[in-house]
């Protein structure tokens, strides 16, 4: 079988200036201006599964990309489905050369960290999806990234991260040859369905977290503010993953007539679009609920602080009243002590020493001073 003439272009040249993030194990550039290669762990296998299908049935399972290209050329009505996980730059450029992938899409697939989007380059569709899964133990949402190239007779998936598990999607499609025989679009819609179905456990887990947070807020848990903040950040990421999907799926549905999409696939995609819309609305509701919970929590914390300040003020007032009483009695007792001290000095020249009324006068003076101080403090409510 001769080679297909429409898919042997020269591999696209790299555009300068777009550097990929480096990390541990990244090969440094050999000289200025060269882009660093992506870090790949030792013994990492990029090709997870590669198969050639005909009439919905797997007819070949090549071990390498080169074998896949050769097997596909030998199947005039075949379709290749290649699954990759963090592929190397050379592998992606090999695919780009074989299937005429656009250089911008290839660079996006290499760099990752892309927003969900749908782009068409000639007869090739490029889709970026953000998958999510809920981790029960840490109560966190983990996000993965999936890039999908869809052409007339091929489908290439480039996965970054743990989610989604595309092996189950492939098995389900292989168990339904009639659906898989509809071509790469059928596999794309199955992948979209798997990504969207993966949002359901996340929605359920987040709903449980919000219910627990509401309980913690009214229980006065001091650590709840941090939990609200962390979950709010996850909902921002979740919203960025789900909201663009609504427009993407409507864009695919708008092209049903133009590209002659099969009726079964149209129904399939409408169902996926309904689920995405529902999920997006739930996520929007979660963000609003978390905002309201954060407001309520701030109000409760403020009320608690006000109550504590009021209690401190009352305690200070009571303490001040006690100090007043102690000070008043100290002043009253100090007056006779002062008089007694003066008359107890026993100097020879004191005028009252030989006076017969000196003692009664001193006692009377003490009593008058004490009573006067008592009346004064009593009027001022110190006693």
8 Å CB contact between 131 and 164: yes
Whether residue 278 has pLDDT greater than 60: yes
Higher pLDDT: 37 or 362? It is 362
More confident residue, 344 or 245: 245
Burial (CB count within 10 angstroms: exposed 0-12, middle 13-18, buried 19+), residue 95: buried
Non-local (6+) Cβ contacts of 286 within 8 A are 206, 207, 210, 235, 238
Percent of the chain residues topping a pLDDT of 70? 85
Q: Distance (Å, rounded) from C-alpha 291 to C-alpha 84?
A: 39
Q: From CA 108, how far away is CA 156, in angstroms rounded?
A: 14
Is the pLDDT at 6 greater than 60? The verdict is no
pLDDT in tens, 129-145: 999 988 887 778 888 89
User: And the tokens for 50?
Assistant: 């590669």
Instruction: Note the pLDDT of residue 2.
Output: 35
pLDDT in tens, 86-107: 888 999 999 999 999 999 999 9
**Mean pLDDT over residues 264-283, rounded?**
89
Copy the structure tokens of residue 186.
Answer: 């059928």
Both tokens of 214, joined, read 């509401």
Per-residue pLDDT band at 25 (split at 50, 70, 90): very low
**pTM summary value:** 0.68
Paired tokens of 355 = 């006076």
Q: Say if residue 16's pLDDT is above 60.
A: no
pLDDT at residue 199 tops 60: yes
Judged on CB neighbours under 10 Å (0-12, 13-18, 19+), 260 is exposed
User: Once rounded to an integer, what is the mean pLDDT over residues 348-372?
Assistant: 78
What is residue 151's predicted lDDT score, i.e. its pLDDT? 92
Instruction: Tell me how far apart the alpha carbons of residues 28 and 13 are, in angstroms, rounded to a whole number.
Output: 20
- Which range has the worst mean pLDDT, 30-39, 67-76, 89-98, 308-317? 30-39
Residue 159: phi and psi, rounded to 5, are -105, 135
pLDDT at position 146 is: 92
Mean pLDDT value across residues 286-310: 83
* Cross-sheet strand order for the sheet of 124-135: 57-60, 47-54, 79-85, 154-160, 140-150, 124-135, 117-121
**What pLDDT is recorded for position 1?**
36
pLDDT for 311-338, tens place per residue? 887 788 778 878 878 888 888 888 788 7
d(CA 37, CA 19): 10
Mean pLDDT of the chain: 80
In sequence order, what DSSP letters do the residues of 234-279 get, joined into one string? HHHHHHHHHHHHHHHHHHHHHTHHHHT--HHHHHHHHHHHHHHHHH
Paired tokens of 160:
């970054």
**Helix H segments across the chain?**
65-73, 89-99, 103-111, 166-174, 177-180, 184-197, 199-219, 224-254, 256-259, 263-343, 358-379
Whether 362 has a pLDDT exceeding 70, the answer reads: yes
**Coil vs helix vs strand at 38:** coil
Residue 370 has pLDDT above 90, yes or no: no
- Among left, alpha and beta (phi > 0; psi -120 to 50; other), residue 227 is alpha
The pLDDT value given to residue 36 = 38
Q: What's the pLDDT score for residue 314? A: 79
Tokens of 111: 């760099």
Strand pairing category for 117-121 and 79-85? unpaired
Cβ count near 363 (within 10 Å): 13
């Amino acid at each position: 079988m001769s080679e297909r003439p429409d898919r042997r272009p020269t591999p696209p040249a790299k555009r300068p200036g777009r550097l990929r993030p480096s990390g541990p194990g990244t090969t440094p550039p050999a000289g200025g201006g060269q882009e660093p290669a992506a870090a790949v762990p030792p013994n990492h296998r990029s090709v997870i599964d590669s198969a050639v299908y005909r009439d919905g049935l797997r007819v070949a399972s090549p071990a390498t990309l080169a074998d896949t290209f050769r097997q596909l050329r030998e199947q005039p009505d075949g379709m290749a489905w290649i699954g990759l996980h963090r592929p190397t730059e050379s592998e992606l450029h090999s695919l780009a050369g074989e299937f005429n992938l656009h250089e911008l899409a290839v660079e996006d697939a290499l760099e990752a960290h892309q927003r969900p989007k749908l782009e068409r380059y000639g007869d090739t569709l490029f889709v970026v999806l953000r998958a999510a899964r809920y981790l029960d133990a840490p109560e966190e949402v983990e996000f993965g990234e999936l890039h999908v190239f869809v052409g007339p007779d091929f489908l290439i998936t480039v996965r970054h991260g743990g989610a989604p598990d595309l092996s189950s999607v492939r098995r389900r499609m292989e168990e339904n040859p009639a659906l898989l025989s509809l071509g790469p679009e059928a596999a794309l819609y199955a992948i979209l369905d798997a990504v969207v179905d993966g949002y359901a456990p996340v929605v359920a887990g987040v709903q449980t977290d919000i219910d627990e947070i509401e309980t913690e807020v009214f229980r006065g848990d001091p650590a709840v503010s941090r939990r609200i903040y962390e979950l709010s950040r996850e909902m921002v990421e979740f919203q960025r993953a789900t909201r663009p999907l609504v427009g993407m799926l409507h864009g695919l549905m708008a092209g049903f007539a133009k590209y002659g999409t099969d009726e079964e696939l149209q129904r399939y995609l409408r169902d996926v679009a309904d689920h995405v819309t529902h999920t997006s609305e739930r996520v929007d509701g979660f963000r609003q609920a978390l905002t309201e919970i954060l407001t309520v929590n701030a109000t409760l914390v403020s009320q608690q602080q006000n109550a504590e300040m009021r209690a401190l003020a009352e305690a200070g007032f009571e303490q001040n009243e006690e100090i007043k009483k102690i000070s008043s009695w100290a002043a009253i007792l100090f007056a006779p002590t002062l008089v007694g001290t003066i008359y107890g000095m026993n100097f020879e020249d004191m005028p009252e020493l030989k006076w017969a009324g000196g003692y009664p006068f001193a006692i009377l003076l003490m009593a008058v001073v004490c009573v006067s101080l008592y009346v004064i403090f009593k009027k001022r409510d110190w006693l």
